[in-house]
Amino acid sequence: MKKPIKNNLQEIRSNTNMTQEDLANQVDVSIQTIQSIEKGKYKPSDSLAFNIARSLNKEVTDIFS
């Protein structure tokens, strides 16, 4: 059984008052991709993780463990 990917994306995104749609648009992915990442069902590529972190003004390690 696959272990869920742990991340703080939903909490960090919410704290910045950014919607899933806002973030998806900034990093050029679908809302479904953001939802899957937040639920731990999808592991983003390194470049997507970096783009997400940059959009939230965080380090990748602040969001993904």
Residue 28 located in a structural domain = yes
Confidence of residue 3 (pLDDT cuts 50, 70, 90): low
CATH number, domain of 54, equals 1.10.260.40
Number of structural domains the chain divides into: 1
pLDDT at residue 25 in the model: 98
Indicate the average pLDDT of the chain.
Answer: 94
Digit-coded pLDDT (tens) for 30-55: 999 999 999 999 999 999 999 999 99
Asked whether residue 24 is domain-assigned, the answer is: yes
The yes-or-no verdict on residue 10 having pLDDT over 70 is: yes
Cβ atoms of residues 36 and 45 within 8 Å: no
Does the pLDDT at position 6 exceed 60? Answer: yes
Domain annotation covers residue 1: no
Inside any domain, residue 4? no
Per the structure, the complete domain to which residue 13 belongs is given by 9-63
